[in-house]
Structure 1
Amino acid sequence: MKKLLFLAAALLFVGTTNSFAQKSPKKTFTEGNISVTYGAPSVKGRVIFGDLVPYKEVWRTGANNATEITFAKDGSIGGQAVKAGTYTLFTIPQKDGDWTVILNPTLKQWGAYKYDKIKDADLPHVMAKTSKTSANVEQMTISVEGGNLVIAWADTQASVAVK
């Protein structure tokens, strides 16, 4: 009987711990010259922009580790030249208007918590056009569509030209 109670308690503990420790899945999108690796959070009934992701603050553009974008060869984003390499991708969401897109060469960051210490290394900031999505995007996605890097989550998408 004691073994059965111990086993039940252990299973309950493991199940509870796993549900709290779940991270957003790691995804990688690759098209041509560009590859993006990011944590893909879900809405889960939450208010995303303006609450979970504050306006006018640097955001890691995803979950867990800061999003990283790799240019296999020299390219551009928002009309700004980008040398081949891997960069951390940050954004600054706005309630109304375009978002700021930031590429920074400091890799392997958790979130944007140390951004103030590395911001002097940023490439020139560019602007991403925003629009409302036609339907709710439950799990955040980053893709390249028609020559634009597109970040879509909840009811918002931001896009910026990439080559």
Structure 2
Amino acid sequence: MKTTLHVFVAVLISSATYAQHEHHQPAESETAKPKPKSPRQSAMAMVGDNHVHVDYGSPSVRGRQIWNGLVAYDQVWASGAHKATWIDFSQDVTINGKLVPKGKYGFFTIPGPKEWTLILSKDWDMHLADDYKPEQDIVRVQVKPEMHQNVTEALTYEVVPEGKKKGEIKMRWDKLSVSLPFQNK
């Protein structure tokens, strides 16, 4: 009987130890992932009957030099972090006098100190601008950046309706913004 009791106690202790060490349930703090430094964000609005949606990775300034630092001048930029920024129009639009059929497009930019090139590309699904090809461009627009006094810490997009027919997609980061105007067809 003593031997059976010792074996039974040994099995209980062994089971408890196994449960503690082998099947440890992590505490909530152990499973919590750190927040990404450039989270995916989206901006959208209705411009008349046209649903306009922008999806982008939103990095923060975090004390860095952004323009001609983190983001080089005169080079194609994915206009966000990680995957390329994309814009989806639910209806045909006109941009810079050119018809842009409804659909999803990559949004790329070529920043410069005094002028930027804003680009809509047929190719929207890529990491940064790694596979960017100019022959996929559907439209390019030259714009002057607008400078601001206050810093916008996280890269932010906004779809701004201007009545039922017109709108603009505004990108703002650090002390600068650029806008891509469009008109519903």
- State TM-score, norm by structure 2: 0.73
Q: Which residue does 1:48 correspond to in 2?
A: 66
Asked if 1:26 is matched to 2:35, the reply is no
Contact between 1:40 and 1:141, CA under 8 Å: does it hold in 2? yes
Which amino acid is 2:156 matched to?
T
Q: Which residue does 1:102 correspond to in 2?
A: 119
Q: Which runs of 5+ in 1 are unaligned?
A: 4-12
Once residues 39 and 45 of structure 2 are traced to their aligned partners in structure 1, the CA distance between those partners, rounded to angstroms, is: 20
Q: How does 1:82-93 map to 2 (within 5 A)?
A: 82-93=100-111
Shift of 1:23: 4.2
| Alignment RMSD | 2.5
Once residues 91 and 132 of structure 1 are traced to their aligned partners in structure 2, the CA distance between those partners, rounded to angstroms, is: 17
**When the two structures are aligned, how many residues end up with a matched partner?**
151
Asked if 1:150 is matched to 2:167, the reply is no
Which amino acid is 2:39 matched to?
P
Q: Which residue does 1:113 correspond to in 2?
A: 130
SS in 2 for 1:24: coil
CA gap 1:109/1:92 in 2 versus in 1, 3 angstroms: same
Contact between 2:118 and 2:143, CA under 8 Å: does it hold in 1? yes
Q: Which one of the candidate residues 150, 157, 166 is aligned to 1:135? A: 150
Q: Residue deviations 1:1-52, cap 9 Å, x none?
A: xx9xxxxxxxxx989xx55x83411111111221100011100000001000
Once residues 99 and 41 of structure 1 are traced to their aligned partners in structure 2, the CA distance between those partners, rounded to angstroms, is: 20
SS in 2 for 1:152: strand
Q: Which one of the candidate residues 61, 65, 72 is aligned to 2:83? A: 65
Q: Residue deviations 1:79-124, cap 9 Å, x none?
A: 322100000000000112x210111111320000121xx3212113
Once residues 117 and 127 of structure 2 are traced to their aligned partners in structure 1, the CA distance between those partners, rounded to angstroms, is: 20
Shift of 1:160: 2.3
Q: Specify the structure having the higher radius of gyration (Cα).
A: 2
Once residues 22 and 124 of structure 1 are traced to their aligned partners in structure 2, the CA distance between those partners, rounded to angstroms, is: 32
Which amino acid is 1:87 matched to?
Y
Counting aligned pairs with the same residue, the percent is 34
- State TM-score, norm by structure 1: 0.82
Following TM superposition, the consecutive aligned residue runs of length 4 or more in structure 1 with deviations greater than 6 angstroms are: none
Once residues 133 and 103 of structure 1 are traced to their aligned partners in structure 2, the CA distance between those partners, rounded to angstroms, is: 25
Shift of 1:142: 0.9
Contact between 1:149 and 1:161, CA under 8 Å: does it hold in 2? yes
Q: Which residue does 1:125 correspond to in 2?
A: 140
Q: Which runs of 5+ in 2 are unaligned?
A: 1-19, 21-29
Once residues 93 and 28 of structure 1 are traced to their aligned partners in structure 2, the CA distance between those partners, rounded to angstroms, is: 22
